[in-house]
A = this chain, B = another copy of it.
Amino acid sequence: SVNPDLASERQTASFSVEKLTAWLDGGAERTQLRRAVVEAIERDPVFSRENQYFQSQNESYEAAVRKAVHLQKKMHEMGWTDDGPEFKYIYRALSGDLAFLLHRIFIRSISVLGSDKQIAKWIPLATQYQLIGSYAQTELGHGTYLQGLETTAVFDITTQEFVLNTPNISAMKWWPGDMGRSATHTVVFAQLYINGKCYGLHPFIVQIRSLQDHSLCPGITAGDIGPKMNFEHIDNGYLMLQNVRVPRENMLSKFCEVQPDGTYVRRGSQKINYFTMTTVRISLISDEVVIPLMKACTIAIRYSVVRRQSKLKPREQEAKILDYQTQQEKLLPQLAAAYAFYFISDYLQELFNRGYREIQRKNFDMLPELHAFSSGFKAMVTQYSTSAVQICLQACGGHGYSLLSGLPSLYTKIFASCIYEGENTILLLQTARFLIKCFMAASTGQSVPPSVTYLAAVTPEKCPAKNKLDFLSPDIYTEAYQHMAARLISSTAAKLQDLIQSGVKKHDAWNQCTVQLAQAAKAHCHYITVKNFAETVEKLETQPGIQKIMKHLCDLFALHGIFSNAGVFLHDGYISGAQMDMVTASYLDLLAVIRKDAVPLVDAFDFTDKTLNSALGSYDGQVYQRLYEWAQKSPTNKQMSPAYERYLKPLLHKTLSKL
């Protein structure tokens, strides 16, 4: 039975939860398909996550391999394909706790970087799992700066082979997933040398383990890098190469080739390489960031209407903690952000699709914009969402800190998204470089991509809002964000120019502006997110119930951003102190309005209990019962600890001195 404190929240929804779910899914048929996939996965005991929070690293790895292998069978049975619409639902249902994810990258990199002959040879082997692939780029001493990688591949003309080596410890490959214990093959990125001349980074297919008995191949040292904050199910690995020889044909050669006589031939544009990174960054926003954030909101908000603590009014029952303004102010902006980022992820996907169509027509004009957007949004959304999940966790107090709440694992996983696929600060600076370029171009009247024309737009010098209700107008707040982003970019560009004109060298000047450049890039992404949210709400006119609540969330997201970053809006007087008080008043008012729909708004995400895997977040709200039941299953309760006989008993029985 549903806890009455949670049930009552569902009776007063201002909109149809089912309709919102269908809209988020992209139509009722999609919802149906998603539910069917999720059900098929959850009905299968092999995919159970029941013991997830009690597993050692070894056990997590075994479970992930078991699931990945079983999934092959399941997909065949169900008629699901790797590139079908089902895969993202499968991934959602399994919460990504699956091995062989790097095997997919192995396949993708051969498809993109390999010659037709290489594709014909390797892709069938990989898709039929006659080998297990990985992707070895990052080194112990080198990450985002790829040019610094040290692994070498020297062409030996006499044997027509490349000889791969790890010249010193910092060149050891470190972190690649699926490589610590699973992979038989990997794509190794190494500096290519021919006749003593370095030709830069190239990818080589290298076998690392025997297909017969999985023993390491000659010259290979490999293993697992040990415990991490999360991703214990993934065997992130290390790899050292000592005179490992691979045939000339193993260098992926769509864009460049070493001919038998040692001649190096480059063909086509290498720019397209960036496009792969762009794809990965955009797809991780939805799968690895927005979904975990939605889950965290679901758990924290459901718990906050079940948990009662202290009294709001004397002589009444203890209040639901979500009735406290401070709790609303913690959780509801994160809920609004989950929606905002869900929509921006769609926006980026569309931008990407448009770019992809252009690229197929050999038009590469959109590449810089796509690269800048995928970098900046990856950084902004991962950082924001990580802090959002942290707030959700802390808002659940002590019970949030228990792994059984599900929140710690969501948190430690989303935390990693700030680091992998490009370190966030470096990414923001890449976006900033693009913005500064566009600003310079726009100010001299040159054409720039439509998404950044605002940099040259003329906006009023003062926000025209006269009272707190004016700040519920999307025009008012979108313009404020636009003004603020443009100001941060232009003022940093000015500082940069001043420094250079005063004689500071270009690279030093750039370094001295990077704190502000990163801030400006974030401001740009924040502005686009607000603008896109407002436009999304506008398009909802056929569904007034949903439109109304989405409008509230959009307002909340925008005003929360102004309230929390007041300095950048007040700085040049665009928003005055008195107007900031209006922002604050409208912002706090909205909390009480949205609070009424908080539970329906998370119900609409439509996560099953098994997907949430949380003692605090289940649909029925039986929080305390579930915490108690789940704790019983903990290995800490399975038997009396040997610590009793060894230490406690002698201590209590005073035989300690005999120890």
Interface residues of A (CB under 8 A from B): 53-54, 56-58, 61-62, 65-66, 69, 72-73, 129-132, 138, 140-145, 148, 169-170, 172, 174-175, 180-182, 184, 211, 214, 223-229, 235, 238, 307-310, 312-314, 318, 323-327, 329-330, 394, 397-398, 400-404, 408, 412, 415-416, 418-420, 423-426, 429, 505, 507-508, 511-516, 518, 565-573, 577, 580, 584, 588, 624-625, 627-628, 630-637, 640-644, 646-652, 654, 656, 659
A250 CB, nearest partner CB in chain B, Å: 20
Q: How far is the CA of A54 from the CA of B225 in the complex (A)?
A: 12
Residues of chain B lying within 8 A (CB to CB) of residue A418: 394
Q: Which of A229, A308, A584, A636 has the most CB of B within 10 A?
A: A636
A-B contact pairs, 25 of them (CB 8 A): A53-B227, A58-B635, A72-B651, A132-B648, A140-B624, A141-B308, A143-B309, A144-B309, A169-B625, A211-B652, A223-B636, A223-B637, A226-B634, A226-B636, A227-B634, A228-B408, A229-B401, A235-B636, A312-B508, A313-B507, A323-B511, A325-B512, A401-B415, A408-B412, A567-B567
Which 9 pairs of residues, A with B, have the shortest CB-CB distance? Answer: A566-B567, A226-B634, A224-B636, A227-B403, A570-B570, A567-B567, A145-B310, A65-B643, A226-B631
> Which residues from chain B contact A129 at a C-beta distance below 8 Å?
651-652
Is the pair A636, B61 in contact by a Cβ cutoff of 8 Å?
Answer: yes
Alpha-carbon separation in the docked complex, A651 to B103 (Å):
14
Chain B residue contacts of A309, Cβ below 8 A: 142-145, 148
Give Cα A643 to B132, complex, Å. 14
Inter-chain contact B512/A143, CB cutoff 8 Å: no
A229, B408: Cβ atoms closer than 8 Å: yes
User: Is there an interface contact between A511 and B648, defined as CB atoms closer than 8 Å?
Assistant: no
Which residues of B sit under 8 angstroms from A184, Cβ to Cβ?
Answer: 652
User: What are the residues of chain B within 8 A of A400 when measuring CB–CB?
Assistant: 419
Question: Shortest Cβ distance from A532 into chain B, in angstroms?
Answer: 25
B residues near A566, Cβ cutoff 8 Å: 566-568, 570-571
For the A-B complex with A228-B401, A323-B511 known, give 11 more contacts whose Cβ atoms are closer than 8 Å: A54-B227, A61-B643, A73-B656, A148-B310, A226-B402, A312-B508, A313-B507, A394-B419, A566-B566, A566-B567, A567-B569
Nearest Cβ distance between residue A568 and chain B, in whole angstroms? Answer: 7
- Report the bound CA distance from A418 to B398 in whole Å: 10
CA distance A634 to B226 in the complex (A): 5
A230 to chain B: closest residue by CB: B401
Instruction: List residues of chain B with CB within 8 A of the CB of A312.
Output: 507-508, 511
Give chain B residues whose Cβ lies under 8 Å from the Cβ of A577. 570-573
Separation of A327 and B425 alpha carbons in the complex (Å): 9
Q: Which residue of the partner chain, among B238, B313, B570, contacts A628 with CB atoms under 8 Å?
A: B238
Q: How far is the CA of A493 from the CA of B567 in the complex (A)?
A: 23
Q: What's the least CB distance linking A440 to chain B, in Å?
A: 21
In the complex with contacts A62-B643, A148-B318, A401-B416 CB distance below 8 A: yes
Chain B residues near A423 (CB-CB < 8 A): 397
